[in-house]
């Protein structure tokens, strides 16, 4: 209880509650606070900025950072393990890896990997409870994290269940199926709690339609379900597909957490690629609302606006990246804005209330798949850079210029930070069938190499980098980004180093070689001390100042 009073979240509300035992750890109202002491939701707060206001770690002290603890997540079933799930427990799941956000509230961190969730002491890394989900199968590519609603911790499983457990013990409250396993959906997204709603998305590689859903975090009852492709005659966007059948198999999965604007009640999220992924011949048209930023009224699930960042994608370049919300100035006028750096190599700034386009820039140095920009600022795809029988040399490579790795935004400096990976592949069409292929089939690619890899601080007003640091070698992205009110930026360099940079200039200030960062660095304060925590595969490292 002493620890909990350190938390702003509980500190705000605890006095009003009679029984401390029943005090909600994270009442929904607490999630409206800007990122400071705790890290209670995927991006720290609803803005997606990953901008911490903690100040102990600053330009002067950063070189004194030292390891507080290191811990390997333990997947073994033990006495403390709570077991759930609908499977037999015999599916060979890959080794664990922390490829999403951890949450921290009141001195406890919550860590996920597919089929596993752990609560650990934020001060020393000791495990407090472990939940293991016996899966029915499915694609085990990642878990992007969890969400907290009052005293419930919520997370998705690869075989498409939303699970609610008691945040204090890991004991299961309920689980509910959120997508059809038979249709080969798989689920990785960190749920997002907004008020008494929990938003969930899913993934799919077999031409099934993408959707965003809202569930009641108390009971697991469905509140609404909004498809990201037209599903019925007369649905908006159907004119951008050759047929309803094509649209209903058109993808647009929502597999990363979005951001939320409490002023407008709009949840803004990116959507995934159209399907079949590489053979656009069977889905001529722009394929709305795939590869788009969409703003959803969180109460009703209705789409308020959309902006397609990649019309008629044919490269598996999702636009699922978490967008960043901030207030800025455009042409001397204060504006409410949203920016995103898409996997296709283009950066966008829009009005987040209306979706009005403001800026497009190409942030991938060698990005070569578009002919130019349309009047509305969207890139116009060059059909010659689709998969062809003799091969087309395309940049970025399949992984994109960026991918799911969290970007960051520093509102004091007005800079949007993102990694830039300038890979090339030769893309061969192996199935020229006029019906198109299925899923990610019908092509073969060969990664020829990387022209360069870098990190940028992009001026949101122009889309141009204020600074750009090219990594001498290294494999490019992999790590997300954290920035701070003390003018710092933390990330991985792709060469095994965890680095601190000057957020205004990109100057390198500190590093430690702990291996390639597999999530985004995060920071929080426990007992008056600021911790900086990162995942490296199945390891967690937490740094402090003594």
Partner 1 sequence: MRCAWTFLLVISAEAALAAQPPPTFPAQQRPPGDPAVIARGSSLYAIQCRSCHGMDLRGGDMGGPNLLRSPIVLNDQAGEAIAPVVINGRNPPGGKPMPPLPLPREDIDAISEYIHSVVASAQPQGAPPAGAKVELNLLVGNSTKGKRYFEARCTSCHSATGDLAGIGARLANIEQLQNSWVSGRRFGTPAATSPRPAVVTVKFEDGSDVSGTLQRLDDFTVSLVTPEGQYRNFTRRGANPRIADVDINDPMSGHRSLFAKLTDDDMHDVTAYLAGLK
For partner 1, the binding residues in 397-426 under the rule CB under 8 A are 397-399, 403-405, 421, 423-424, 426
Residue placing its CB nearer to partner 1 in the complex, 137 or 265? 137
Interface with partner 1 (CB under 8 A), residue from 292, 392, 410, 483: 392
Q: Which stretch binds partner 1 (CB under 8 A): 52-60, 73-81, 240-248, 344-352?
A: 240-248
Token representation of residue 71: 């811990």
The one-character DSSP state at 473 is S
Q: What angle do CA 255, 256, 259 make, to 5 degrees?
A: 135
At which residue do the structure tokens 């999965």 appear?
A: 253
Task: State yes or no: residue 431 binds partner 1 (CB under 8 A).
Answer: yes
CA atoms of 416 and 342, how far apart (whole Å): 12
Residue 157 lies near partner 1 (rule: CB under 8 A) = no
Query: CA-to-CA distance for 262 and 484, rounded, in angstroms?
Result: 23
| Pick 119 or 254: Cβ nearer partner 1 | 254
CB nearer to partner 1: pick between 34 and 432: 432
Alpha carbon distances (Å) from 155 to 43, 110, 140, 192, 288: 15, 11, 14, 9, 28
Q: Which is nearer to partner 1, 61 or 452 (CB)?
A: 452
Backbone dihedral region for residue 265 (phi beyond 0: left; psi -120 to 50: alpha; all else: beta): left
**Among the listed residues 5, 55, 183, 376, the single contact to partner 1 using CB under 8 A:** 183
As beta bridge partners, residue 447 has 425
Which one of 23-31, 101-109, 406-414, 441-449 is the stretch in contact with partner 1 (CB under 8 A)? Answer: 441-449
How many residues sit in the footprint of partner 1 (CB under 8 A)? 97
**Quick one: which of 195, 411, 414, 441 contacts partner 1 (CB under 8 A)?**
441
- Whether the CA torsion 257, 425, 382, 477 is positive or negative: it is positive
When the beta carbons of 119 and 509 are compared against partner 1, the nearer one is 509
Which residue among 243, 329, 376, 527 contacts partner 1 (CB under 8 A)?
Answer: 243
User: Rounded to an integer, what distance in angstroms lies between the CA atom of residue 91 and that of residue 425?
Assistant: 33
* Contacts of partner 1 in 370-389 (CB under 8 A): 384, 388-389
Q: What is the 8-class DSSP label of residue 369?
A: S
Peptide bond into 332 cis (omega under 30): no
Binder to partner 1 among 77, 376, 430, 462 (CB under 8 A)?
A: 430
Which residue stretch of 10-18, 20-28, 36-44, 437-445 sits at the interface with partner 1 (rule: CB under 8 A)?
Answer: 437-445
Backbone angles phi, psi at 31, to 5 degrees: -75, -10
Q: Out of 125, 170, 220, 276, point to the residue binding partner 1 (CB under 8 A).
A: 276
Contact status: 437 vs partner 1 (CB under 8 A): yes
CA pair distance 128, 141, nearest whole angstrom: 25
With a CB cutoff of 8 Å and minimum separation 6, the contacts of 339 are 323, 324, 326, 347, 348, 349, 350, 409, 416, 458, 460
Of positions 18, 21, 22, 182, contacts partner 1 by CB under 8 A = 182
DSSP string spanning 73-126? ---S--TTEEEEESS-S-S-PPPP---S--EEETTEEEEEETTEEEEEETTT--
Provide, rounded to whole angstroms, the least separation between the CB of residue 488 and partner 1: 16
Mark residues 97-136: x for contact with partner 1 by CB under 8 A, - for none. --x------------------------------------x
Question: CB of residue 210 vs partner 1: minimum separation in angstroms?
Answer: 9
User: Could you give the string, one character per residue 504-543, with x where binding to partner 1 holds by CB under 8 A and - elsewhere?
Assistant: ----x--x-x--x-x-------------------------
User: Within positions 35 to 94, which residues make up the interface with partner 1, using CB under 8 A?
Assistant: 91-92
**Separation CA 384–CA 394 (nearest Å):** 10
Instruction: Give the shortest CB-479-to-partner 1 separation in angstroms.
Output: 9
Structure tokens at 142: 């990642």
């Amino acid at each position: 209880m002493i620890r909990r009073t350190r938390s702003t979240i509980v500190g705000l509300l605890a006095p009003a509650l009679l029984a401390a035992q029943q005090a909600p750890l994270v009442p929904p109202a607490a999630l409206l606070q800007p990122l400071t002491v705790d890290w209670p939701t995927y991006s720290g707060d609803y803005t997606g900025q990953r901008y911490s206001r903690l100040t102990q770690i600053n330009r002067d002290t950063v070189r004194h950072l030292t390891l507080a603890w290191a811990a390997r997540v333990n997947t073994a079933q033990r006495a403390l393990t709570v077991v759930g799930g609908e499977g037999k427990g015999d599916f060979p799941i890959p080794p664990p890896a922390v490829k999403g956000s951890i949450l921290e509230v009141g001195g406890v961190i919550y860590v996920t990997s597919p089929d596993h969730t752990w609560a650990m002491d934020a001060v020393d890394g000791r495990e407090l409870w472990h939940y293991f989900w016996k899966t029915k199968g499915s694609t085990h590519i990642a878990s992007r994290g969890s969400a907290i609603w009052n005293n419930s911790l919520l997370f998705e499983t690869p075989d498409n269940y939303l699970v609610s457990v008691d945040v204090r013990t890991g004991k299961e409250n309920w689980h509910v199926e959120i997508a059809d396993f038979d249709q080969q959906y798989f689920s990785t997204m960190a749920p997002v709690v907004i008020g008494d709603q929990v938003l969930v998305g899913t993934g799919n590689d077999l031409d099934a339609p993408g959707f965003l859903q809202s569930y009641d975090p108390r009971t697991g009852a469905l509140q609404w379900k909004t498809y990201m492709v037209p599903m019925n005659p007369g649905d908006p966007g159907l004119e951008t597909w050759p047929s309803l059948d094509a649209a209903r198999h058109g993808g647009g999965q929502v597999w990363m957490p979005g951001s939320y604007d409490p002023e407008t009640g709009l949840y803004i999220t990116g959507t995934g690629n159209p399907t079949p992924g590489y053979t656009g011949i069977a889905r001529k048209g722009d394929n709305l609302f795939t590869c788009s930023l969409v703003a959803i009224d969180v109460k009703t699930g209705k789409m308020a606006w959309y902006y397609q960042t990649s019309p008629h994608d044919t490269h598996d370049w999702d636009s699922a990246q978490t967008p960043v919300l901030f207030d800025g100035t455009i042409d001397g006028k204060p504006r409410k804005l949203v920016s995103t750096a898409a996997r296709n190599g283009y950066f966008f700034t829009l009005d987040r209330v209306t979706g009005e386009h403001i800026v497009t820039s190409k942030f991938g140095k060698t990005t070569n798949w578009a002919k130019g920009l349309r009047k509305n600022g969207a890139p116009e795809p060059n059909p010659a850079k689709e998969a062809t029988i003799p091969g087309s040399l395309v940049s970025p490579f399949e992984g994109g210029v960026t991918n799911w790795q969290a970007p960051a935004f520093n509102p004091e400096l007005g800079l949007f930070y993102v990694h830039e990976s300038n890979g090339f592949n030769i893309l061969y069409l192996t199935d020229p069938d006029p019906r198109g292929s299925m899923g990610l089939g019908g092509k073969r690619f060969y990664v020829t190499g990387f022209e360069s890899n870098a990190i940028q601080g992009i001026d949101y007003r122009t889309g141009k980098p204020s600074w750009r640091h090219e990594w001498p070698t290294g494999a490019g992205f992999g790590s997300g980004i954290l920035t701070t009110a003390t003018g710092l930026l933390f990330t991985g360099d792709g060469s095994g180093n965890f680095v601190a940079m000057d957020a205004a200039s990109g100057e390198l200030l500190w590093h430690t070689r702990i291996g390639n960062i597999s999530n985004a660095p995060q920071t929080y304060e426990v007992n008056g001390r600021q911790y900086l925590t990162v995942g490296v595969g199945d390891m967690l490292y937490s740094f402090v100042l003594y």
